[in-house]
Chain A
Amino acid sequence: MTDYFEVHHRDGAARIGELRLSDPLRTPALADDVVADAGSLWTADRDLPEGDEATLTVLPHRGLPGGTPEEVQEAFAPDYPDVDYPSAAVVSADTAADYGADAYVLSAGQNYVGHAAAFVEAVVQTREAIPADTALFLPGVATPANVATLVYAGVDLVDADRAVVKGTQGTYLTVDGEQSLADLDELPCACPACQQPIAEFDRDDCVEHNVNALDAALRTVRGRIRNGRLRDYVEGQARHEQWLTATFRRLDQQYAYLEQRTPLLREAELTAATEDTLKRVEIQRFAQRVTERYVNRFDNPLVLVPCSARKPYSESKSHGQYHDAIQFRGHTVSMTSPIGVVPQELELTYPAQHYDSVVTGEWSANEIEFVSTVLTRYLERNEYPRIVAHVPEDYRPICERVEDELGLDFEYTVEDHPTTTDSLANLASTLQEEPKYEKRERQHNTIRAVADYQFGDGAGDALFDDLTTQGRYPQLRAHDGDGTQLAQLVRQYGTLSFTLAGARRWLDSDVPTKRVEIDGFVPHGSVLAPGVVDADDDIRVGDEVVIEGPKAFAVGRAEMSGPEMAESTRGVASQVRHVEEI
Chain B
Amino acid sequence: MSKPSPEVYEQGKGMDAHNKVMREIRGRKDATYDPTEPTRVWIDEDNTPDGVYQSLTIILNTGGCRWARAGGCTMCGYVAESVEGGSVSHDDLMTQVEACLDHEAENADEESGLVKIYTSGSFLDEREVPAETRRAIAETFGDRDRIVVESLPDFVSEAKVREFTEQGLETDVAVGLETATDRVRHDCVNKYFDFADFEDACTEAVAGGGGVKAYLLMKPAFLSESEAIADMKSSVRRCAAVEGCHTVSMNPTNVQKFTMVEQLYWSDGYRPPWLWSVAKVLEDTADEDVIVVSDPVGHGSARGAHNCGECDDRVQRAIKDFDLRQDPSVFEQVSCECERTWKTVVERETSYSMPLAR
Contacts and interface: CB of A to CB of B under 8 A. Distances in A.
Interface of A: 37, 40, 42-45, 58, 61-69, 71-72, 74-76, 90, 105, 107-111, 113, 139-140, 159, 161-162, 164-165, 168-170, 203
Contacts of A169: 308, 338, 341, 357
Secondary structure class of chain B's binding surface, majority of residues: helix
A172 to B, nearest CB: 15
B268 to A, nearest CB: 4
Nearest to B263: A67
Contact of A69 (B17, B268, B338, B340): B17
Interface in B342-358: 344-345, 348-357
Given A65-B222, A140-B354, A75 B183 contact: no
Contacts of A165: 341, 344-345, 348, 356-357
Given A76-B14, A111-B268, A168-B341, A63 B350 contact: yes
B227 interface: yes
Given A66-B268, A69-B21, 20 more contacts: A40-B350, A42-B188, A43-B351, A63-B224, A67-B266, A69-B260, A71-B20, A75-B14, A75-B16, A90-B352, A108-B267, A110-B354, A139-B352, A140-B354, A161-B353, A161-B356, A162-B356, A165-B356, A169-B357, A203-B337
Contacts of A74: 17
Contacts of B349: 161
Given A43-B183, A66-B264, A75 B13 contact: yes
A110 B340 contact: no
B187 interface: yes
Contacts of B264: 65-68
Contact of A72 (B18, B337, B356): B18
Given A107-B352, A110-B354, A165-B356, A72 B269 contact: no
B354 A63 contact: yes
Contacts of B267: 65-67, 108, 111
A263 to B, nearest CB: 33
A162 B20 CA distance: 34
Given A66-B264, A164-B348, A169-B341, A40 B224 contact: yes
Interface of B: 13-14, 16-18, 20-21, 181, 183-184, 187-188, 221-224, 227, 230-231, 260, 263-270, 308, 337-338, 340-341, 344-345, 348-357
A62 B224 CA distance: 12
A140 B222 contact: no
Contact of A40 (B13, B20, B351): B351
B17 A110 contact: no
Contact of B350 (A37, A44, A67, A170): A37
B185 to A, nearest CB: 11
B24 to A, nearest CB: 8
B181 A43 contact: yes
Contact of B187 (A58, A76, A139, A162): A76
Contacts of A105: 352-353
A110 B18 contact: no
30 contacts: A40-B222, A42-B183, A42-B227, A43-B223, A43-B230, A44-B181, A62-B222, A63-B353, A65-B221, A66-B267, A66-B268, A67-B264, A68-B264, A68-B269, A69-B263, A72-B21, A75-B13, A107-B353, A108-B267, A108-B269, A110-B269, A113-B268, A139-B352, A140-B353, A140-B354, A159-B353, A161-B349, A165-B341, A165-B345, A165-B357
Contacts of A140: 353-354, 356
A259 to B, nearest CB: 30
B338 to A, nearest CB: 8
Contacts of B270: 65, 67
A87 to B, nearest CB: 14
A169 B348 CA distance: 15
A107 B349 CA distance: 12
Closest 6 CB pairs of A and B: A63-B351, A67-B267, A65-B269, A66-B269, A75-B17, A140-B353
Given A43-B184, A67-B265, A111-B269, A61 B348 contact: no
Contacts of A110: 268-269, 353-356
B17 A72 contact: yes
Contact of A45 (B183, B222, B231): B183
A378 B265 CA distance: 53
A42 to B, nearest CB: 4
Nearest to A109: B353
A427 to B, nearest CB: 62
Of A62, A64, A75, the most chain B CB neighbours within 10 A belong to A75
Contacts of A61: 351-352
Contacts of A109: 353
Contacts of B356: 110, 140, 161-162, 165
A42 B351 contact: yes
A88 to B, nearest CB: 10
B183 A71 contact: no
B353 to A, nearest CB: 4
A37 B350 CA distance: 9
A74 B187 CA distance: 13
Nearest to B354: A65
A139 B183 contact: no
A169 B310 CA distance: 12
Contacts of B227: 40, 42-43
Nearest to B221: A65
Contacts of A72: 14, 17-18, 21, 260
Contacts of B357: 165, 169
A113 B16 CA distance: 31
A42 B348 contact: no
Contacts of B355: 65, 110
Contacts of B181: 43-44
Contacts of B350: 37, 40, 63, 139
A42 B179 CA distance: 13
Contact of A44 (B13, B17, B21, B183): B183
B179 to A, nearest CB: 10
Contacts of A58: 352
B352 A168 contact: no
Contacts of B21: 69, 71-72
Nearest to B262: A67
Contacts of A43: 181, 183-184, 223, 227, 230-231, 351
Given A42-B188, A43-B223, A45-B183, A65 B351 contact: yes
A64 B352 CA distance: 6
Contacts of B188: 42
Contacts of A68: 222, 264, 269
Contacts of A45: 183
A162 B227 CA distance: 19
Of B183, B224, B348, the most chain A CB neighbours within 10 A belong to B348
Contacts of B13: 75
Of B14, B224, B227, B354, the most chain A CB neighbours within 10 A belong to B354
Given A42-B222, A43-B223, A168-B344, A76 B352 contact: no
A12 B125 CA distance: 63
A113 B354 CA distance: 12
A111 B354 CA distance: 9
A166 B21 CA distance: 34
A45 to B, nearest CB: 7
Nearest to A58: B352
A75 B18 CA distance: 9
A466 B356 CA distance: 67
A203 B341 CA distance: 10
A68 B222 CA distance: 9
Nearest to B184: A43
A577 to B, nearest CB: 45
B13 to A, nearest CB: 5
